[in-house]
Structure 1
Amino acid sequence: MSSSLLIEIEQQITRIGYSLCILIGNIGGIMSLFVFLQRSIRRNPCGLYFIAYVIINMMYINFTIVLAVLSSLFNINPSIQSSIFCRIQFYISFILAIIPSYLLVMASVDRSFASSSNVHTRSKSNRRFAIFMIGIICIFWILFHLHSFFTIDIQLLYGTQVCTYFQGFPAAFVSYYNLVCIGIIPFLLMIGFGIQISINIRQIRLNPNRSQNNRRLIVLLVIQIIIYIILRLPTSLYLVYKEITKSNIKSSNQLIIEQFIQSVVYFCQFIQISISPLLNLIIKTFRYELKQALNKIIRKYNPIHPIQIPSNV
């Protein structure tokens, strides 16, 4: 495959693929919030994690991905014109990229508590603890990423001005940080708690008295974890390769190929962020909840013609 073809495909991914991510992500996010903001779900601690997860994902879509599309389609890139904006953009993108991962981890922790056969363990699943942990996660990563203002600036690389981190220790730190904090730790935690949830699901099936909402949220969470691992794993693997080969002498063609691979793995990450809200609609009950939410809105503004919801849904 020629270098020019790879460059053309990369440009189309940025223009068409990213634009679709913005559209799908916003539509799916709004639909998911209609469901999760229903009283029966928002009172559930796992529902609170999902609400925060969807909101921050939408913020990421409408900030980071939108800026990438503006840069590609309209050549609007404030990050290479203003050093302050460059640092702020990286800072916000770092925060919005990592917080959803740990919200998903905490949702896994909550469902492992809620699905436990031990009464004391189940009592740890509560709204107060969920609100506290959402706040702690946000505050921690907001403070942790303050290093962005000292390690990132506009630089000249390969004859082009780019907004990126300084070479040397800052570059190595960010690479290992992405690998460990966004890759390895969330993956291991999600897999570990996912296994525990799977074990607990078997016990729930044997106990018909457990809440239906708990079982539905567990199934939804397992689906989210599987998609997260499949679409985020390529990014972590690429970061490992990039760090191992950073001292190698590379030809221009090899650099183009690596840039193309980087675009593809980040596109996979954007796909995960965009489609995760729509995954909620896989569950039949959530589709029903969405119909009910839309029905309430239509009844409020047009009480004469409400949506007729089939009784067998």
Structure 2
Amino acid sequence: MADSLTTLSTTLTKIIMPIIITIGVIGNILNIIILTRPTLRHHPCSYYFLALGFNDLFYCVSLIYSLLTHGYQIHPEYSSLFWCKVLFTIASLLPFISAYLIVLASVDRFCASSTNARLRNWNNTVVARSAILIMITFWCLFHINTLVLCELNFADYIGCGIRLKTLYNQILTIIEAVLFAILAPCLMALFGMLTILNTKQVRLLPKAKSSYRRTEGQLIRMLLIQVATYLVLNIPLCVTY
């Protein structure tokens, strides 16, 4: 029975994973092309979506590693400790960056739709670029722990990974789970709902040009769809994280 399930899982991985990678790569390339249009350069939220597009494109390409590992039992990370650390860290880092880019976009849409002028002042391209840079730098520094603690050892079933043999490793794993599986979805849901409330209470950017206002509304809808999709697809994963 176990062998049959393993064979089925391997077969499905070989069939489904290439489709996911192909659709993901094409979709993110199209997103990048659209978001680099001159008409969107003045919209801060487009910067978050553009960064998300590049990050997700990189992540989709990195899924080839998962295809090789789970579909064909080819383990590039086993070739050396260097590749073990690099591949494991990338696989851990990119989902965090994606999640918190959506969080930043949610905060941006909340500020843009607010009746408070001080909050609306945070909705600008300078803040967007700075926030993206700070956030990516923070998560890269945070995952230095992953890079250092990751080990390659064939003495157990883990192979390449972080072993929970010390209190520090256990605490780090718990912190990662809280930040990814609890905090990020909660922030997305919170600011998503606040944005919806804001747009119901006031007319979005009443003094702006109609074309600008229309684009802002489209960006809000894009964000809400992104948040809803993330929550639906990732909550089961977060529960088992």
Superposed pair shares fold, TM > 0.5: yes
- In the alignment, the residues of structure 2 paired with residue 177 and residue 94 of structure 1 have an alpha-carbon distance, to the nearest angstrom, of 13
Q: Give 1:168's aligned residue.
A: 165
After superposition, what is the alpha-carbon deviation per residue over 1:41-72, rounded to whole angstroms, capped at 9, x for unaligned? 23211000000001001111112x11111234
Cα RMSD after superposing both structures: 2.0
Structure 1 range deviating more: 206-215 or 108-117: 206-215
Q: Give 2:17's aligned residue.
A: 18
- Of the three residues 189, 192, 196, the one matched with 1:191 is 189
Q: Give 1:223's aligned residue.
A: 225
The verdict on how the C-alpha distance between 1:71 and 1:207 changes in structure 2, with shifts beyond 3 A counting, is closer
- In the alignment, the residues of structure 2 paired with residue 206 and residue 84 of structure 1 have an alpha-carbon distance, to the nearest angstrom, of 51
Task: Judge conservation of contact 2:11–2:71 (CA < 8 Å) in 1.
Answer: no
2:27 is aligned with 1:28? yes
Q: Give 2:97's aligned residue.
A: 99
Task: Judge conservation of contact 1:80–1:161 (CA < 8 Å) in 2.
Answer: no
Counterpart secondary structure, 2:131 = helix
Deviation at 1:161, TM superposition (A): 6.5
The verdict on how the C-alpha distance between 1:230 and 1:161 changes in structure 2, with shifts beyond 3 A counting, is closer
The verdict on how the C-alpha distance between 1:157 and 1:40 changes in structure 2, with shifts beyond 3 A counting, is farther
Q: Give 2:135's aligned residue.
A: 137
Aligned residues: 236
- In the alignment, the residues of structure 1 paired with residue 158 and residue 138 of structure 2 have an alpha-carbon distance, to the nearest angstrom, of 32
Amino acid at match of 1:78: P
Deviation at 1:149, TM superposition (A): 2.9
- In the alignment, the residues of structure 2 paired with residue 129 and residue 195 of structure 1 have an alpha-carbon distance, to the nearest angstrom, of 22
The verdict on how the C-alpha distance between 1:9 and 1:172 changes in structure 2, with shifts beyond 3 A counting, is farther
Structure 1 range deviating more: 16-25 or 124-133: 16-25
Q: Give 1:301's aligned residue.
A: none
Task: Judge conservation of contact 1:107–1:221 (CA < 8 Å) in 2.
Answer: yes
* Correspondences of 1:176-187 after superposition (within 5 Å): 176-187=174-185
Structure 2 residue ranges without an equivalent (≥5): none
Q: Give 1:282's aligned residue.
A: none
Deviation at 1:118, TM superposition (A): 2.2
2:46 is aligned with 1:47? yes
Q: Give 1:232's aligned residue.
A: 234
Counterpart secondary structure, 1:141 = helix
Q: Give 1:122's aligned residue.
A: 120
The verdict on how the C-alpha distance between 1:5 and 1:224 changes in structure 2, with shifts beyond 3 A counting, is same
Deviation at 1:153, TM superposition (A): 1.2
After superposition, what is the alpha-carbon deviation per residue over 1:108-127, rounded to whole angstroms, capped at 9, x for unaligned? 00000111122232121000
Q: TM-score, normalised by structure 2?
A: 0.90
Amino acid at match of 1:84: F
Structure 1 range deviating more: 111-120 or 121-130: 111-120
Q: TM-score, normalised by structure 1?
A: 0.70
Q: Give 1:8's aligned residue.
A: 7
Structure 1 residue ranges without an equivalent (≥5): 240-313
* More relative contact order, 1 or 2 (CA 8 Å, 6+ apart): 1
Q: Identity of aligned pairs, percent?
A: 28
